Amino acid sequence: MNTTKHGVVPYITAREGEEADSFLALRAAFDDAGHSRLAYWDEVREDRDVRGVLWARVSQSIAADRLPAGVPKWRLVHPARQRECMLTLRCQVCVDDARTPEGILFLESKKDGIFTSSTTIRTAQPPLCRRHARLAAKRCPYLAAHGHVALLAQSAPLYGVIGTPHAYGAKGIKVLAADDTPVPYGNPALRWFLASQLVRTLRSFRVVDLDDFIQAAWPEGL
Ligand SMILES: [Zn+2]
């Protein structure tokens, strides 16, 4: 978390000056099974996630305190920082461990529907620690506009990724139209995919009242 002249800026928020890598960095290659797939010319291990999917490269503006710096691009999420928080279940604001003895806290928008324990929820929003859940509910424009639902999940297995499909044709690599639909791990389409957000499924969750939940942890207040 950075508290600066911009206020509290979540760790995952993209910053001005952070730039996507050139399209020319991409090439076609073959995986170990002989399938063609998208790759980088100078690929390094961090370019692929734990399931071998290629990720979009975006530079990072990191200050001397090792936290992101620069004017926030509020509506954009940095792919590597989103992936880090989502993979390790860390708070999207402060990067502290978001796992608690009661479960993992996620905030969803009420606009996305009524959540019951039988609803399948897939989310690209990393969890929040108690300290930042209330802040996010108030400050996130989408949550503030539509209202939030706080969900305490007992587990949140990895599901897949959101990103941009690519294809290889007569003129080389081309970018296909993207939407925000998560593509599950194991789908062959992911060989030609450039991921930008990691998605988990929320399991065994219950809806909690955020104020009650925080109050229970800190009866004296923050
Ligand atoms: Zn936090």
What is the whole-number distance in angstroms between the Cα of residue 11 and the centre of ligand 1?
Answer: 9
What is the whole-number distance in angstroms between the Cα of residue 94 and the centre of ligand 1?
Answer: 4
Instruction: Find the mean pLDDT for residues 181-206.
Output: 97
Q: How would you class 12 by CB atoms within 10 Å of its CB: exposed for 0-12, middle for 13-18, buried for 19 or more?
A: buried
What is the whole-number distance in angstroms between the Cα of residue 217 and the centre of ligand 1?
Answer: 14
> What average pLDDT does the structure give for the chain?
91
DSSP string of 156-195, one letter each residue = --EEEEEEEEEEEETTEEEEPP--SPPEETT-GGGGGEEE
Query: To 10 degrees, the CA torsion angle through 119, 122, 128, 133?
Result: -50
Per-residue pLDDT reduced to its tens digit, 17-63: 999 999 999 999 999 999 999 999 999 999 999 999 999 999 999 98
What is the whole-number distance in angstroms between the Cα of residue 197 and the centre of ligand 1?
Answer: 19
Per-residue pLDDT reduced to its tens digit, 117-131: 778 899 999 999 998
What are the tokens at 2? 């950075």
Q: Could you give phi then psi for residue 193, rounded to 5 degrees? A: -125, 140
**What is the pLDDT confidence band of residue 221, given thresholds at 50, 70 and 90?**
low
**What is the pLDDT confidence band of residue 6, given thresholds at 50, 70 and 90?**
low
